[in-house]
Amino acid sequence: MLSRMANPRASVDTRRFQELFDDAVRIATRKGPLDDSAREVLLGAAFVADQLLYRMSSLPEQLRGPMLALAGLRPAPARAASLLLEFRPPGLLTSPVTMPRGVVAATEDGTVGFTTPIDFTLVPVSLAHCPLSLGNNQNSAAYFRLDQPAPGCVVELSFELTFPGTGVDPDDPPLFWEYWDGSQWYECTVIEDGTGGLTRPGLLTLWLLHDFKTVTVDGTHGAWIRAVVDMDEDDAGYRYPITFGRVTAATAGARIGAWHARLVADEPLGTSTGEPGQRFRLRHAPVVEGDRWPVVEARIPGGEWEEWALAGSFAGSTADDMHAVLDPGTGEVFFGPQVSEPDGTTRQYGAIPLAGALLRVRDYWSGGGAAGNVPAGALRSVIDGLTLHGQDAASDGRDAETIDALWQRAPLELQAGDRAVTAADFEYLARKAAPELARVHCVADEQGTVRVLIVPAPAPGELGELGFGDLAPLPETIEAIATYLGERRLVGTRVVVEAPYYTGVGMTVGLTARRGTSPARVQQDALRALHTYLSPITGGPAKQGWPLGRTLRAGELYGVLHHVDGVDTVDELVLYTADPNTGDKDEEVTAIELSDRTLLLARELAVTVAT
């Protein structure tokens, strides 16, 4: 028997000699029983295949990329995180303020920056018409007309609400707000609502989305928003109208989407030689998908710019197709190659830009990566006349896939193809449908339903903490995965895409710090270590997310705390389960056992440090 040295590299196929031989026998016996000579042939074939797989698994790093490219596999590109930036003027807006695209908001140290992709104008508004009262029927509405539309702007409505009768909580009136886009009403995003209270002035801050515009309603032209009564059983005693008083409107700012990337406009690539297979490299890489994919153009001197469509490959391109291929990881742009056919002729895949034609790439984004998953409020920006007032947490940023990671993914790609059969197939294809996810796991329940459990990749807090709501997958992500898997599952297989269950973890910890160390710093580091260890994304002994179904024992947490710099002794550790949503304490335990569909989530961690 041949012995092998340990090889830490990932194999292109997880099967070994015996499995290869068994598979070969199983396939061959479909045509009838095997004699000894046939078995000897299969033994030889399995041995050769095993050796080839071993050699392939031992390829050095420099050869893996070209080998994978020959198989049509390329690393997944980086993904840019996105967020909403809220800009506000220093005072009352009296004239339009234009923000050109390319405004950058960055972290304090300048290492992470987000760029706005569009020109934007803040438009001052005032109230052209307002109602006096709103009826007491379900869906009764009060219409407010602004003098002009302010798409994408933040508008403040100030007014007093009066409730002559009883039956409604004045601090929570049954109202919601909508805007008219010319065809139907859409609900406004309420940023802040301070309008509750009897005859008390209140300020309502609304975000009017980008399709807000001037239209005609009942013969009156204007930009319309409305307040709608939304009563339920609790409001059954409400019998009197709501009266509005002292109503004013003003533009308070704007909310604009931004990408963790740099916007590069009209970058020249070079001049075409007219030869097949030309390659050009962009100045900035990696290229990420922002509000749109890059556009490649060519122009003969004196002529017009012509667009060349970006294709995934040249496999289906003819000599007349104006196609180019972009490698987002390296920033290389390829034009069609000329390939020799077996009969001695040549075939051109994709058209060739004429000799002397100028080439450029218009409007591409470069950047991305997991570093863009910054928490809310982490960015700073001051531009002429406007200040960054607030910013959401950013998510969905992802680093480009490494060659080593692609090497490990290659077997799944080549074996699964485009069909979901095994659990690994479902996990791989789900990641393909939603690459921004942190984790994907496939489990089957007692009824045979395939459950694909997905975990988003939200930005953690300063101490690594995650909220229960942060881990709820977006409905559009669930729908995209379900649709993608539904087209690739075996007939009769029932697939459910959902979030895992979460068990909340609470803890009371008492520590003693070493002499000369800061108790406050030790406390912060201990909390960070616990949140990190229990995290469904970075937790567990392997630091790849707490394993599904793995029991948490109080004893292992002592080891986590003892590894915190500055901790002398762990004097107390009380472990208990908690509600993952509210953090309410449940029962004190020494271990938390989980089902195969459950993860941990740190909720209430209290750490005190003595000296």
Q: Which of 466, 498, 530 is the last residue of a domain?
A: 498
Same domain assignment for residues 143 and 160: yes
Across the chain, mean pLDDT equals 82
Report which of 396, 378, 402, 398 is spatially closest to residue 388, judged by C-alpha positions.
378
Residue 143: what residue type?
Y
Is 405 inside a domain boundary?
A: no
pLDDT at res. 198: 41
Number of H helices, E strands in the chain: 8, 40
How many angstroms separate the CA atoms of 154 and 88, rounded?
A: 9
Is 66 inside a domain boundary?
A: no
pLDDT at res. 285: 87
Mean pLDDT within 469-490? 89
Same domain assignment for residues 507 and 580: yes
Whether 515 has a pLDDT exceeding 50, the answer reads yes
**Cβ proximity of 545 and 455 under 8 Å:** yes
Same domain assignment for residues 188 and 142: yes
- How far is CA 311 from each of CA 210, 358, 484, rounded to the nearest angstrom? 31, 20, 21
Whether 606 has a pLDDT exceeding 80, the answer reads yes
Name the residue range of residue 44's domain: 17-58
| CA quadruple 188, 190, 191, 196: dihedral, nearest 10 | 150
pLDDT at res. 240: 54
Q: Which of 498, 513, 539 is the last residue of a domain?
A: 498
Is 67 inside a domain boundary?
A: no
Same domain assignment for residues 123 and 203: yes
Whether 250 has a pLDDT exceeding 60, the answer reads yes
Same domain assignment for residues 107 and 155: yes
pLDDT in tens, 162-201: 665 555 565 666 678 888 877 778 888 888 776 654 444 5
pLDDT in tens, 262-310: 888 889 999 999 999 999 999 998 998 766 678 899 998 888 999 998 8
Is 3 inside a domain boundary?
A: no
Mean pLDDT within 66-80? 75
Same domain assignment for residues 223 and 89: yes
Same domain assignment for residues 189 and 305: no
**Cβ proximity of 403 and 61 under 8 Å:** yes
Residue 6: what residue type?
A
pLDDT in tens, 543-597: 889 999 999 999 999 999 999 999 999 999 999 999 988 888 888 999 999 998 9
Is 409 inside a domain boundary?
A: no
Same domain assignment for residues 93 and 211: yes
Question: DSSP assignment, residue 243?
Answer: E
Q: Which residue do the tokens 């649709």 mark? A: 483
Of residues 445 and 536, more confidently modeled: 536
pLDDT at res. 338: 92
Least reliable range by pLDDT among 19-23, 249-253, 359-363: 19-23
**What band does 52 get if pLDDT is binned at 50, 70 and 90?**
low
Whether 62 has a pLDDT exceeding 70, the answer reads no
Is 422 inside a domain boundary?
A: yes
Same domain assignment for residues 205 and 247: yes
> What's the domain count of the chain?
5
pLDDT at res. 568: 92
Structure tokens at 485: 């898997």
Is 9 inside a domain boundary?
A: no
**What global pTM score does this model have?**
0.61
Residue 40: count other Cβ atoms within 10 Å of its Cβ: 11
Mean pLDDT within 426-445? 88
Same domain assignment for residues 187 and 219: yes
Least reliable range by pLDDT among 10-14, 431-435, 549-553: 10-14
Q: Which of 450, 483, 498 is the last residue of a domain?
A: 498
Same domain assignment for residues 115 and 223: yes
List the CATH number of the domain containing 489. 3.30.300
| Number of Cα atoms under 13 Å in the Cβ half of residue 367 | 23
**Cβ proximity of 489 and 495 under 8 Å:** yes
Same domain assignment for residues 478 and 511: no
